[in-house]
Amino acid sequence: LAAAPPRRALLSPSLPTAPAPLRLRSGTGGEAEAAGGDRDKDGAGAMLRHLARKLRASGPVTVAEYMREALTNPGQGYYTRRGGVGESGDFITSPEISQVFGELIGIWCISEWMAVGKPNTFQLVELGPGRGTLTEDILRVFKQLASVLSKCDVSVHLVEVSPKLSEIQAVMLTGGKVQPNPEDESAYMKGISKTGIPIFWYRDIQDVPPGYSFYLAHEFFDALPIHKFQRTEKGWCEVLVDIDPEVPDQLRFVLSPSRTPATQNFIQPEETRDHVEVCPEAGVIVHRLASRIEKDGGAALVADYGHDGTKTDTFRGFRNHKLHNVLSAPGTADLTADVDFSYLRKMVQGKTATLGPIKQREFLKNMGIDLRLQVLLQNSGDTSTREQLLHSYDMLMNPEKMGDCFNFFALLPHHRLVHPAKNDKPESKSPLPPVAGFNELLLK
Ligand code: SAH
């Protein structure tokens, strides 16, 4: 891949200019911002009033319902109105830290496409694209490797519920030249990327047309609503959100008086933890991805912070790069919980094979990040760019920063990992190429 100088200003080591260090959503330490502040300025008053009315009328709601309202309520949700990814927002993510991240994922797609014999068409489908930076970096790689992809018909499909973020993505990827509500498509918007590739926007993965696809979900599953459960002397109860009767306009957690439908459906009899979080929506979406991959081929790459069914209370909020009380000023802060990879694996069982989760630093090392860094360093003349490159490499790879807590997890058709039914001459088959990232990248 030709050396490209960093396209955008990478975060400088001397940052932050923000009042607090830039916060990764994976982080847990730090002081929570005081409750309440700036409520009306941010429209939190309207969201709180809406929730309070609902709670008074029909009683406490599940944490999942609270999270859904706070994040994606069509009028006042956090992603609908604010969606603060990036340095000037509420939290920072890998694609925003370094262009190298997206470039290596672009190479991952091409490597998988080559491994299955270069099908003549593929869709790049991104779930929750934020500012659109990851897709932008991937499309630059596709352009640089145009000779390799010359006979392949590529299209981009973005699944995004936030009107505000889809607008930002449209500007980033197409220069703002988009057509809303195209009549001939299931998409709510379409356009052409600056590199000439058609791009479509949808609210739901089910609207994306079928076909051989690479599905990417970077820091997407952690934003989906979770249920929370607590073991008590009476058995499993569900944690709910209610209005505090003592303090006007304040929310509080309460326990369901007894089991709820969710406790019965989501807690395994062999569970040993005392507190459990479950994200059924993540289960439904990953199951849909697996069904599509089983039917039409392709792969899904999920990158997020998470655990393998071991952690307990991970629900947290972020605002202006600071931890934020999850129940205060809903709609003005990002809410998130660790992804349970063991749950995702269970939900795709039988449909696709899975790889990982493996640590981000191992995945990126296998993808050749060290070599890519060397090329960029050699091509950058000035000291400040070199410092930025080294700083962003450290952010992505350092085990104490993003290197260890972010994981990569993939879904692939079974036949991608194991040859279909053994015929009488198994030795005549060529070995399957290893899946890049989970093994060292071998691009011929
Ligand atoms: N992938 C980006 C952004 C992560 S933030 C990055 O890493 O920088 C989460 C993203 O998911 C946002 O774009 C948000 O608007 C979107 N999102 C949240 N809930 C969603 C849902 N239910 N369906 C589709 N997109 C959703």
Torsion 249-281-205-25 (CA) sign: positive
Distance 218 CA to ligand 1 centre (A): 8
| Protein residue with its CA nearest to atom 5 in ligand 1 | 130
Tens place of pLDDT for every residue, the chain, 444 residues? 333 333 333 333 332 222 345 667 776 544 444 444 444 455 668 899 999 999 999 999 999 999 999 999 998 899 988 767 877 788 899 999 999 999 999 999 999 999 999 999 999 999 999 999 999 999 999 999 999 999 999 999 999 999 999 999 999 999 999 999 998 889 999 999 999 999 999 999 999 999 999 999 999 999 999 999 999 999 999 999 999 988 888 999 999 998 888 898 999 999 999 999 999 999 999 999 999 999 999 999 999 999 999 999 999 999 988 899 999 999 999 999 999 999 999 999 999 999 999 999 999 999 999 999 999 999 998 999 999 999 999 999 999 999 999 999 999 999 999 877 655 565 556 778 999 999 999 875
Are 419 and 353 spatial neighbours (Cβ–Cβ below 8 Å)?
no
- Domain residue spans in the chain? 94-226+277-319+333-416
Q: ∠ CA(234), CA(240), CA(244), 5° rounding?
A: 110
Report the b/e string of 269-302 with b at 16+ CB within 10 A. Answer: eeeeeeebbbbbbbbebbbbbbebbbeebbbbbb
Three-state helix/strand/coil letters over 341-388: HHHHHHHHCCCCEEEEEEEHHHHHHHCCHHHHHHHHHHHCCCHHHHHH
Instruction: At 20, list the tokens.
Output: 């607090």
The pLDDT value given to residue 9: 32
Whether the Cβ atoms of residue 125 and residue 215 lie closer than 8 Å to each other: yes
**Number of C-beta neighbours around residue 442 at 10 A:** 11
Residue 153 to residue 82: CA distance in whole angstroms: 35
Exposure string of 170-196, with b = 16+ CB inside 10 Å and e = fewer, is bebbbeeebeeeeeeeebbbbbbbeee
Tell me which residue of 180, 182, 267, 190 sits closest to 232, measured CA to CA: 267
CA distance 221 to 337: 9
Q: Which residues are near ligand 1 (CB < 6 Å)?
A: 72, 79, 83, 85, 93, 95-96, 128-130, 159-162, 165, 218-220, 223
| Helix, strand, coil % in the chain, rounded to nearest 5 | 35, 25, 40
- Furthest-apart CA atoms within the chain: distance in Å: 75
For 14, the 3-state DSSP assignment is coil
CATH of segment(s) 94-226+277-319+333-416: 3.40.50.150
Phi, psi dihedrals of residue 325, rounded to the nearest 5°: -55, 120
Distance 347 CA to ligand 1 centre (A): 21
Residue closest to 303 by CA, chosen among 55, 111, 104, 23 = 104
Q: State residue 41's pLDDT score.
A: 54
Q: How far is the CA of 197 from the centre of ligand 1 (A)?
A: 22
Would you state the pLDDT for residue 180?
Answer: 95
- The DSSP symbol for 338 reads -
Closest CA to 204 of 172, 135, 157: 157
Query: Which pLDDT score is estimated for 432?
Result: 87
Site to substitute for ligand 1 among 78, 162, 226, most atoms within 8 A of C-beta: 162
Distance from residue 128's CA to the centre of ligand 1 (Å)? 3
Side chain identity at residue 148, one-letter code: V
311-336 residues labelled b (16+ CB within 10 A) or e (exposed): eebbbbbbbbbbbbbbbbbbbbbbbb
Q: How far is CA 382 from CA 14, 111, 347, 379, 392, in A?
A: 16, 32, 49, 9, 16
Tell me how far the alpha carbon of residue 163 lies from the centroid of ligand 1, in angstroms. 11
The answer to whether the CB of 341 falls within 8 A of the CB of 356 is: yes
H or E element at residue 159: strand 153-159
The reported pLDDT for the residue numbered 38 is: 44
Identify the residue whose C-alpha is closest to ligand 1 atom 26: 128
